[in-house]
């Protein structure tokens, strides 16, 4: 029933450091349009990596569950609590998918008013879908953009570090893939400067042959995928997978969602919840829990742990028009800066910047640029 209902949704109708390097253009002889028989070399601008170009370091705690995200409902007295949390490093990526599932569960009650707890990407997405379906929504949150964890996300559309494949069953995998498909289609409607979403060419750089399936969520979500093997010219890696995906600029995107929420008549109440009894006291009979890591204490989910991520942000380079990922090292170009990662520290709660990690991230990305240059 849930799946049939979601198929009716409109947005599903069309889809089921540090070295210093000089600025310049470097060619990769093996990346070309082979299918067309063209030897058109793709030229990649060099990312200029140096401490002098570092403008900020940001740290965030991803709400990670080895068993995957939670979308489900439970009773709390006379209220229905709909959960939507635990997305790990794929919160922005999966936001419209699991928000759609959560909104469906909330709408099945037939109520017209809803409470959403949390004002990050998950709370705002869920609130907007409830509004689109005719609901009146109040968001209750301690923090709003730009103070949410979602604001410090790297935000490449790529559903990585979302769950432990050894801890989930096939039913969850299918639910995850559905969330990917829904969200991927929904984000396409936000492409443009207004929402800070754009398509970008992305490279997976590997020393070992790619696994099958390599692209998370399904190969159909990544247009123009090409695989190149045993060609050391590609950033110094023998295996390169090239595809297109979307990059989202959190500051622009979240502000736009917040604006849309207010324009649709939404209200925000600044409130921090210290226990479920305070949630039970809300006037709305249906409450959607989008508290992320906060659900660990509020709802006793001890499987939920932080995965700490630290990003280094360099001065913007408009000429850099591609992303790359290589194990834990990655680079995303955004208008607000070049985003360098990355770290995935399980069960570490510190939000303090780690100078050693800054050095490791700069040096790791510098090595990739050295491979590009040579």
Confidence at 37, pLDDT banded by 50, 70, 90: very low
Question: Is pLDDT above 80 for 319?
Answer: yes
> What is the three-state SS of the chain?
CHHHHHHCCHHHCCCCCCCCCCCCEEEECCCCCHHHCCCCCEEEECCCCCHHHEEEEEEEEEEECCCCCEEEEEEECCEEEEEEECEHHHHHHHHHHHHHHHHHHHHCCCCCEEEEECCCHHHHHHHHHHHHCCCEEEEEECCCCCCCHHHHCCCECCCCCCCCCCCCCHHHHHHHHHHHHHHHHHHHCCEECCCCEEEEEEEEEECCCCCCCCCCCCHHHCCCCEEEEEEEEECCEEEEEEEEEEEECHHHHHHHHHHHHHHCCCEEEECCCCCHHHHHCCCCCEEEECCHHHHHHHCCCCCCEEEEEEEEEECCCCCCCEEEEECCEEEEEECCEEEEECCCEECCCCCCCCHHHHHHHHHHHHHHHHHHHC
Does the pLDDT value for residue 132 go beyond 50? Answer: yes
As a whole number, mean pLDDT of residues 312-325 equals 96
Percent of the chain predicted with pLDDT > 90: 77
Q: Note the pLDDT of residue 12.
A: 36
State CA 94 to chain mean position distance. 7
- pLDDT value at residue 33: 37
Is 332's pLDDT higher than 60?
yes
List the domain boundaries for the chain.
25-62+197-248+307-373, 66-184+250-303
Task: State how far the Cα of 181 lies from the Cα of 187, in Å rounded to an integer.
Answer: 10
- Could you give the CA distance from residue 230 to residue 222 in angstroms, rounded to a whole number? 22
Q: Give yes or no for residue 142 having a pLDDT over 50.
A: yes
Nearest residue to 353 via CA among 316, 309, 292, 314:
309
Confidence of residue 327 (pLDDT cuts 50, 70, 90): confident
275 HSE (CA, 13 A, CB side): 1
Give residue 152's pLDDT. 92
The predicted structure's pLDDT at residue 213? 60
Contacts of 51 (CB under 8 A, 6+ apart): 17, 18, 362
Residue indicated by tokens 């929904």: 186
* pLDDT at residue 334 is higher than 60: yes
365 pLDDT more than 70: yes
Residue 25 has pLDDT above 80, yes or no: no
* Alpha carbon distance 345, 176 (integer Å): 23
| Percentage of the residues of the chain whose pLDDT score is greater than 70 | 87
In tens, the pLDDT along 108-120 reads: 999 999 999 999 9
What's the pLDDT score for residue 212?
Answer: 66
Range scoring the smallest mean pLDDT among 46-50, 70-74, 169-173, 239-243: 239-243
Q: pLDDT digits over 254-295, tens only? A: 999 999 999 999 999 999 999 999 999 999 999 999 999 999
More confident residue, 94 or 25: 94
Residue 13 has a pLDDT of 37
> pLDDT value at position 230?
59
pLDDT above 90 for 141: yes
pLDDT level of residue 317 (50, 70, 90 thresholds): very high
pLDDT at 174 (0 to 100): 95
Q: What is the pLDDT of residue 233?
A: 60
Closest CA to 185 of 226, 160, 157: 157
pTM as predicted:
0.87
Calculate the average pLDDT of the chain.
87
Lowest-pLDDT range, 29-38, 314-323, 329-338? 29-38
Q: Does 25-62+197-248+307-373 match 66-184+250-303 in CATH topology?
A: no
The answer on pLDDT for 236 being more than 50 is yes
Q: Are 105 and 73 in contact (CB under 8 A)?
A: yes
Looking at residue 43, what is its pLDDT?
Answer: 81
Q: Which of 9-13, 122-126, 203-207 has the highest mean pLDDT?
A: 122-126
The CA–CA distances, whole Å, from 251 to 115, 120, 255, 337 equal 24, 11, 6, 12
Listed range (219-228, 313-322, 360-369) with the worst mean pLDDT: 219-228
Q: Is domain 66-184+250-303 classified as CATH 3.90.1150.10?
A: no
**How many CB atoms sit inside 10 A of residue 78's CB?**
7
CATH-assigned architecture of domain 25-62+197-248+307-373: 2-Layer Sandwich (3.30)
């Amino acid at each position: 029933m849930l799946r049939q209902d979601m198929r009716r949704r409109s947005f599903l109708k069309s889809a089921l450091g540090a070295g210093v390097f000089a600025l310049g253009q470097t060619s990769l002889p093996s990346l070309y349009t082979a299918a067309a028989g063209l030897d058109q070399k793709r030229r990649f601008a060099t990312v200029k990596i140096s401490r002098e170009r570092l403008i900020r370091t940001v740290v965030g705690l991803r709400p990670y569950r080895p068993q995957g995200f939670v979308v489900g409902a439970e009773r709390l007295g006379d209220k229905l609590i709909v959960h939507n949390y635990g997305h790990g490093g794929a919160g922005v990526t999966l936001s419209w998918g699991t928000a759609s599932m959560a909104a469906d569960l909330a709408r099945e009650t037939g109520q017209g008013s809803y409470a959403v707890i949390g004002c990050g990407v998950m709370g705002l997405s869920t609130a907007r879908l409830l509004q689109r379906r005719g609901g009146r929504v109040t968001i209750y949150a301690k923090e709003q953009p730009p103070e949410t964890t979602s604001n410090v996300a790297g935000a490449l559309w790529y559903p990585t570090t979302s769950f432990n494949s050894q801890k989930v069953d096939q039913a969850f995998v299918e639910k995850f893939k559905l969330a990917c498909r829904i969200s991927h289609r929904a984000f396409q409607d936000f492409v443009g400067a207004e929402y800070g979403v754009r398509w970008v060419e992305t490279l997976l750089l590997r020393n070992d042959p790619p696994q099958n399936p390599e692209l998370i969520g399904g190969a159909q979500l990544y247009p123009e995928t090409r695989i190149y093997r045993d060609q050391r010219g590609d950033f110094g890696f023998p295996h390169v997978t090239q595809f297109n995906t979307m990059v989202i600029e959190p500051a622009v995107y979240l502000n736009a969602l917040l604006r849309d929420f207010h324009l649709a008549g939404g209200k925000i109440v600044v409130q921090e919840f210290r226990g479920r009894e305070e949630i039970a006291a809300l006037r709305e009979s249906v409450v959607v829990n989008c508290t992320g890591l906060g659900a660990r204490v509020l709802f006793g989910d001890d499987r939920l742990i932080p995965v700490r991520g630290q990003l280094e942000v360099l001065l913007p380079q408009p000429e850099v028009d591609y992303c790359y990922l290589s194990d834990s090292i990655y680079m995303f170009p955004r208008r607000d800066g070049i985003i360098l990662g990355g770290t995935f520290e399980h069960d570490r709660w510190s939000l303090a910047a780690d100078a050693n990690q800054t050095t490791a991230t700069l040096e790791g990305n510098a090595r990739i640029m050295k491979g590009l240059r040579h």
